[in-house]
Structure 1
C-alpha cells in the first residue's frame, strides 16, 4: 500500500513478533507506572475485591498509562514531534481488557514525519509489549490509509468504530474517528448485509452458544462477537437493538471470560468442561450448571436482540430500495401508487382475531385489547407460527405488559391455540423464543422455569432441556397424522422432560408435574391420565427395544401392562420417535427404529388379545443367517459376512432420548458384521476382543442362539453331534465402525477369530500390549468419566437373569465384560449392546449351567464380579 509506514505489517490483525530492529531500541522504557507495568498489572489481577467492569476499566487505564509513557520516550528517542497519536481499537478501544486480551493498537501519523523515524518510534512502542509476553495487533497508518484499509476489510472497519485516543495528538485521533463513523454510515446499506453474512457464517462454524456444553464465549452465536455487531448496527443509525438486558448480558459474558483467563492462565474463549467448576467458583456461583445457565441466558438475550435488530435492518434496507410512488395522486391523477410498485409497507392483513400481518411481521390489530383478552398471547403466537412469520418486538412487549393471566383451568380456545402453536413445525421455535424472551412462557407454564436454560451434561444431547422439549414438539408435528389424538402427542412432546428440573428420576417427577399442568391447561381426567402415562414411560419403548430380549414373553407383557391401551401405545410410539429426532444421531438410527417398531407390533398384538401373542414367538432368522449357521455347523468353525452400509435417514430423522440433541442427517458409513459359530463358551468375549484388536468400535451388537433342525444341520445331512437332532449355533450381529484407517478384510477377521477360539491367539495379552503402548504417550486432559455401574434388572425375564452394564465406552470394553461373565461361570443366553455417544449401555441375559435364571443372591454376586472387572 502506497505512502504507508510499516514496522512489520500494515494489518491490524497481526500478532507475530518480527526479528528485532536494533536501531534506537536500547534502554527500552518500561513506563512511568510505579513498580513497572508488569508488577502493577499483576497486583490488579490479584485483587479479589475488584472484578468485572471496574477491573477491566482499571486494566485499560493502566495499559493506557504504560503505552503513553512508551510513546513519549519513543518520540524523544526517535526525534519525532507532533503529528502522531496512539489509538486503541477493537476490544481495547472499548475498554474491555480481559486478563489475557490482545492489545489492538494503531500508530496514527499525519505523513509529515520521516519514515525511518516513524519505524524507530513504532519499535519503541511494540517491542516492550512483546517483551511483556502480550499479544499485539498493530499497524502504522495515516488517516487516509486507515480509511482505505477499512473500506477494503470489514473487520478493520469494525475495529476502528471503537477507536479511542491513548496518547499523542488528540486532534488526529478525533479526525480519524469522525471520518470512520461518517464512512460507516454512508456505506451501511452495503456493509451491513456483509456483516450479517459474516455473523451467519461464524454461527455455522462455532454453533449456538445457548446450547453448547463447551461454548465459545466470543465466536458462537449469541456471544461477544454478536454483541459487538449490534454496536456496529447502532453506529450506522439504520437500526438499534432492544436495550433491555443487553448490557447485563454482555457484562456477564465478559465476566465469565475474565474468570476463564485467570483460571486457565491462557487467552482462551472456550469454556471447556474441565474449567467450568473453577470458573463458577471464581464468579461466586453455586456450580458449573449455574454458570452455564447464566451464560446461556446471556447468550439468548444477545441472540434474540440480534434476530430483532437484523430484521429491522432488512426492513429498512428493503424500504430504501423499493421504488418510490409517483406524485400523480397528489396532482389529481387516479391512485397514489405507481403501477407495479407493490404493496404499501403499511398494509395490514388479518391473521386472527386481534392479530394482523404488517411488513413481514405479526403485530396486534389496532382494535386489540390484551388487557381484556387473556388468550391473545397464545392466539398471536399460533397465528405467527402458522404463517411462518416472526412476532414483532413491540407486539410481544405489549402482550407481556398488558395481558392478564389465563383462568385455571384454561378455556378451550387457549388450549387449542397452544396445540396450534406446537403443531406449526419449525416456525414454532422462533415464536417460542420471542415469547420466552419477554417472560410469557413462564407466565403461561410456571413449571417451565425449572427447565429453562438447563444444561444437559450428556454428549448425546444437542440442546438444553427447554429447547429439546420445543424441538421434540416440532418433530412430533410431522408425525401428527399417524395418531388419532395429535393434541395429546404435541403436549406430551412439550412436557416429556419437564421433570428434569427436579431431583430424582425425571420420568417419575415429570408424571406428577404433568398431571397438574395438564389439568391447568384444561384437559379432562382421561386425557390427563394418558399424558401422565406418556411422560412416565417416554423412554420405555427405546430402552426395551434396544436392551431387552423381545422374544422373551415377559418383555412384551411388561410393556403392555405399563402402556395400558392401544391409544396410548400409538402415541408413545410417535413420542419415542419425536424424542429421538430431537436428541442426536448417536441415539437413533433406522436399526433402532425397526427394533421399536417390532416391539410396538408385538405389544399391540397383546393389547388386542390375539391368541398366543404373549408367548415366545419363533426366532426370525434371515436366509443369510440360516446359511451362515449351516456352514458354521458343517465346518465346525466361525463363518463371517461383512456388509458396508450407509443408512440415509429421512429428512425428519435424527435421534432418541436415551436420557441421555443433534441435528438430523444420514448416518455415517459403517459395517454390519454377521458371525455364526458353533456354541461354545467364551464366544462373546473372544469375538469382541478380535474386533478390538482390529480397531473396530462396536456401535451395537446382538447375540442369540439358533437351534438348527435336524434336516438343516450339516447342510441337510445327519446332525453333526450324532444326537439325531440339530445343534446350537451362536449368531452374533454387530454394527461396527473403524476407529481410523480402512476396514479389515473378512478373511483376516475369520482367521484371527479361529486362532482366538482355539487358543493360539492370546487376546488378553495382545490388548494389554496395545494399552501399554498407549500409556507411553501423554494424554490430553479431559473430563473424568464416572465409574461403571453394573446392576441386576429384576423381573425383566422369566427365562434368564438380566445384567445391565453402563460404562464409559472404551476399546476392549465388551471383551472385558464377556470375560468377566465367563469367569463368573454363567452362560450368556443373549446380549443386547448399544453405544450412545461416549456411553455403553448393555444388557446380558444370563443363566446358570443348567439353563435356569440365577437366584437373587447369585445374581448380585455376578454383578459385583463384573463391576470389579471393569474397575
Structure 2
C-alpha cells in the first residue's frame, strides 16, 4: 500500500510530467502560429529536456535552422510570449554547424546539447544536430572528460559535499543533481556505463526535494536552508526535518560514491597502459588495474574475508572494485560473535590506514555491509547534526575521527583501542539521554562482539563515556586546581592498572575528535589546554609500578632445558629454544620474513645474556596466500641456528627484486627509551607502521649498537607495531651513557625509514 511519502512524491513527479507536456504543446503552438516553421526545430535542453523542470527551473531552448532567412521572426514569436509569461528563458538560434562549433568550444553548451530533446519542428534537423554533437563528444573524449573533471572539482570546492552540509545546494554540491547529469554525459562518451538503479532513485529523491523547495518558497533557489526544511519535509510527507536531512544525506552519498567510481573508471580507461598487472596486496586480495579485487581462490567462507580485503585496499591506498564489494555483500561469510582475532585485527588495520580508509569504508557502507558488521551503526548512519560546529553526519564523523586517530597511534600504547574507541565514541547519538553514557553501553556490546578481552572492553567503555572529559574540563575548569586534576584521575582509574594508558588514549581521542568536528571545535588554544591538563593528570598518576619484563608462556619454558636447539612449528605458533647469542632474535625474525610470514607477536626470554639459553615464541601469519611448509620453515630455522643460512643476503636480494607500490602516508615512527622501567636492562620501545621484516630491521639496528636483547615483547595491533625490547650491553649491563642512548634511538629510527 502506498505510504503518505509515496503519494506526495508521485504527485510531484506527475506535476513535472504534466508541466512538460503543457509547455511542449504551448511552445509547439507558438512555432506553428506563423510562417517559416517548416525548416526549423525547437529543442529543449536542461531540465525541460529531461522532463524534470521544477517550479523555479529555467527554460532553456535552442532554435535550429538551415540558414533560414526569416528565422529571426520565428524566434521572436516564441521568445516574447515566454518572457511575457514570467518564465526565465535562456535561448539561442543556431545552424547545425554553428551549434556544433559552440559545443566543441563551450563545455557547458556541449553538456546541454547531449541531452537535447525535440519539442516541435523538423525531427531530422534535431537528429542531425544530436548525432553531430555526440560524434564530436566521443571523438574528443580524452580532452573533454579531463576538462569536465576539472570543472567538477572546482564546483565541489565551491559548494562542498551535499551529504554533510546543514544547508546544501541540491544541484551543485558534490553528490547533487548536477553530478548525475555529468555521469550521463560521461556515459554518452562510451567510456563508462550510465547511472544504475540506486543512483537514479537517489536522483529522483533529490529532484523531488528540489521541487518541494521551489514550491513552498516560490523561489528558484536550490539551497535547502534550515528555516525551509520543516515545510519541505511536510510537502514530501516526511515526519520532520531530521528525516529529510537523513534522506538527503543518504541520496547524496549514493551519488557521490557512484560519481567517484565513474571518475576512477575514466582515469583507468583514458590513461596510457602497457598492460594490466595483478599484484597481491593482502591475503585474498590483489590489485588489478588500479583497484583491489578478490584473488582467485579467495575463501568467501572465511569470516575475516570482508575486513581483511577492505584493510588490504586501504593500506595500499586503492579503491575497492564495486563488483568485488557486491560479491562480498552477497556471498561472503561475516564474523560471528565473538569475532575471530584475524577479523578484529583486520578491522583495526583498516582504520589504521587513516584517510585512505574513508573511501573503502564508504564502499562497504554503500553495499550495506557496515550495518551488518556493527549492530547499532544503523542508528547513526546518515544522522544529521544540527550544529554548525559539526562538518559531518554522525557516522561520517566517527569514521573521520578514526582516520584522524591513525596519525596519533604512536602516542599511545594501544593503537587498536584508540582506533576502535574513535570509531565508537559518538555511537550513542540518537539515543535517549546522555549520548556518552548510552554510547558506553553500546560499546560494551560491540567490544564484546569484536572479541576484545574484558579489560580492553572496559577501557573502550571508559573512552566512550569520557571522550569529552579532557576538552570540557580543560575549557570549563581551572586546570591548576588540584580538584580538577583529581576529577580526571578518578575518571581514568575505572580500569585498575590501566590508568596511564587510558589517559593517553583519551588525550589522543580528544585531538582526533576535535579535528574531525571542524575548525570551530579545535584550535591551538584548546589543544594547549587539553595537553596541559593531560600532563598534569599524568604527573599525578606517576609513581606507579613499572611493568615487569616479559616472560614466555609456562608451556614453553620446558624447551629451555634442551642442551642444544629445539624448534617447534604448530600452525601460526613458532617456538625456538637455542643457546643464547647476539642477534638470535632478529636472525630468527629474518627467517620468518624469508618465508613471507608477518610477525604478529613475539615473546623472548634469556636465562643468562649471551651465555645461557634463549626461548623465542612467535605468532606469525602469511603476508598473503597459503602458509609455508612447516618442515621447510623448521629446516631453515635450524640452518640459521647452525650458521648455515645467510639470512641478511637472502633478504637483501629479495628486497632488491621486489616491486612495491607506496600506500597512504603513515605517521612517523617513534623510538623511546623508557626511564626507570627496569633496574637490570635498558627498555627501548618502538612504535611504527607494520611492514614485512620490521622486527628484522629493528634487531639489526640494536645489534649494530652492540646490544643484546635480554627479553622482548612484540605486538602488531592492526597495522601498528608496538614493540618493547629489554637490552643490555656486552657486559650484560643497562646503558647509562646519554650519548649511547641517543645513538640507539638514531640507528633504530634510521632502520625504520
**Please, which of 19, 24, 40 is the counterpart of residue 84 of structure 1?**
40
What is the DSSP-based 3-state SS (H/G/I as helix, E as strand, rest coil) of the residue aligned with 1:267?
A: coil
* Corresponding position: 1:426 with 2:382: no
Instruction: Give the equivalent residue in structure 1 for 2:134.
Output: 181
Instruction: Give the equivalent residue in structure 1 for 2:585.
Output: none
State the Cα deviation string for residues 669-718 of structure 1 (Å, max 9, x = none): xxxxxxxxxxxxxxxxxxxxxxxxxxxxxxxxxxxxxxxxxxxxxxxxxx
**Structure 1 portions without partners, runs of 5+:** 1-46, 323-341, 611-871
**Number of matched residues?**
533
Instruction: Give the equivalent residue in structure 2 for 1:411.
Output: 340
CA positional deviation for 1:477: 0.6
**Please, which of 429, 445, 468 is the counterpart of residue 500 of structure 1?**
429
Alignment of 1:600-615 (within 5 A): 600-608=534-542
What root-mean-square deviation, in Å, do the aligned CA atoms of Structure 1 and Structure 2 show? 1.4
State the Cα deviation string for residues 445-489 of structure 1 (Å, max 9, x = none): 121111111111111111111111111111111110011011000
Q: Output the CA distance in 2 between the equivalents of 1:314 and 1:559.
A: 51
Instruction: Give the equivalent residue in structure 1 for 2:31.
Output: 71
Q: Which runs of 4+ in 1 moved over 4 A?
A: 47-50
**Please, which of 136, 142, 155 is the counterpart of residue 202 of structure 1?**
155
Q: Output the CA distance in 2 between the equivalents of 1:316 and 1:597.
A: 49
User: Under a length normalisation based on structure 2, what TM-score does the superposition of the two structures give?
Assistant: 0.69
CA positional deviation for 1:224: 0.6
Work out which structure has the larger RCO, using CA pairs closer than 8 Å and 6 or more positions apart in sequence. 2
Q: Output the CA distance in 2 between the equivalents of 1:201 and 1:286.
A: 35
**Structure 2 portions without partners, runs of 5+:** 1-6, 494-498, 545-753
Instruction: Give the equivalent residue in structure 2 for 1:523.
Output: 452
CA positional deviation for 1:551: 2.8
CA positional deviation for 1:432: 0.7
Q: Output the CA distance in 1 between the equivalents of 2:82 and 2:8.
A: 26
Asked if the contact 1:241/1:305 (under 8 Å) is kept, the reply is no
State the Cα deviation string for residues 515-570 of structure 1 (Å, max 9, x = none): 00000000111001110011000001111001112233322212211111211111
What is the DSSP-based 3-state SS (H/G/I as helix, E as strand, rest coil) of the residue aligned with 1:86?
A: strand
Q: Output the CA distance in 1 between the equivalents of 2:395 and 2:506.
A: 20
State the Cα deviation string for residues 223-262 of structure 1 (Å, max 9, x = none): 0110000111111111114514111001000000000001
Asked if the contact 2:31/2:37 (under 8 Å) is kept, the reply is no
* Corresponding position: 1:143 with 2:96: yes
**Please, which of 41, 51, 58 is the counterpart of residue 18 of structure 2?**
58
Larger CA deviation: 272-281 vs 546-555 = 546-555
Q: Output the CA distance in 2 between the equivalents of 1:550 and 1:109.
A: 78
Q: Output the CA distance in 1 between the equivalents of 2:265 and 2:63.
A: 37
What is the DSSP-based 3-state SS (H/G/I as helix, E as strand, rest coil) of the residue aligned with 1:217?
A: coil
State the Cα deviation string for residues 721-758 of structure 1 (Å, max 9, x = none): xxxxxxxxxxxxxxxxxxxxxxxxxxxxxxxxxxxxxx
CA positional deviation for 1:48: 7.0
* Corresponding position: 1:248 with 2:208: no
**Please, which of 78, 91, 107 is the counterpart of residue 63 of structure 2?**
107
> Aligned in 2, Cα 1:241/1:173: closer, same or farther, shift over 3 Å?
closer
> Aligned in 2, Cα 1:502/1:306: closer, same or farther, shift over 3 Å?
same
* Corresponding position: 1:311 with 2:264: yes
Asked if the contact 1:185/1:236 (under 8 Å) is kept, the reply is yes
CA positional deviation for 1:52: 3.1
**Please, which of 360, 375, 400 is the counterpart of residue 290 of structure 2?**
360
> Aligned in 2, Cα 1:163/1:476: closer, same or farther, shift over 3 Å?
same
| Structure exhibiting the larger radius of gyration computed from Cα positions | 1
Q: Output the CA distance in 1 between the equivalents of 2:9 and 2:146.
A: 43
Q: Output the CA distance in 2 between the equivalents of 1:158 and 1:463.
A: 31
Alignment of 1:524-563 (within 5 A): 524-563=453-492
> Aligned in 2, Cα 1:439/1:578: closer, same or farther, shift over 3 Å?
same
What is the DSSP-based 3-state SS (H/G/I as helix, E as strand, rest coil) of the residue aligned with 1:106?
A: strand
> Aligned in 2, Cα 1:428/1:309: closer, same or farther, shift over 3 Å?
same
Q: Output the CA distance in 2 between the equivalents of 1:146 and 1:446.
A: 56
What is the DSSP-based 3-state SS (H/G/I as helix, E as strand, rest coil) of the residue aligned with 2:429?
A: helix
Instruction: Give the equivalent residue in structure 2 for 1:168.
Output: 121
Q: Output the CA distance in 2 between the equivalents of 1:447 and 1:485.
A: 24
CA positional deviation for 1:605: 2.6
**Please, which of 470, 480, 483 is the counterpart of residue 412 of structure 2?**
483
> Aligned in 2, Cα 1:416/1:58: closer, same or farther, shift over 3 Å?
same
* Corresponding position: 1:591 with 2:525: yes
What is the DSSP-based 3-state SS (H/G/I as helix, E as strand, rest coil) of the residue aligned with 1:500?
A: coil
**Please, which of 167, 170, 174 is the counterpart of residue 217 of structure 1?**
170
What is the DSSP-based 3-state SS (H/G/I as helix, E as strand, rest coil) of the residue aligned with 2:517?
A: coil
* Corresponding position: 1:282 with 2:235: yes
**Please, which of 510, 515, 533 is the counterpart of residue 576 of structure 1?**
510
State the Cα deviation string for residues 349-378 of structure 1 (Å, max 9, x = none): 1111211111111110111131x1221111
What is the DSSP-based 3-state SS (H/G/I as helix, E as strand, rest coil) of the residue aligned with 1:501?
A: coil
* Corresponding position: 1:380 with 2:309: yes
Asked if the contact 1:192/1:233 (under 8 Å) is kept, the reply is yes
Q: Output the CA distance in 1 between the equivalents of 2:9 and 2:134.
A: 37
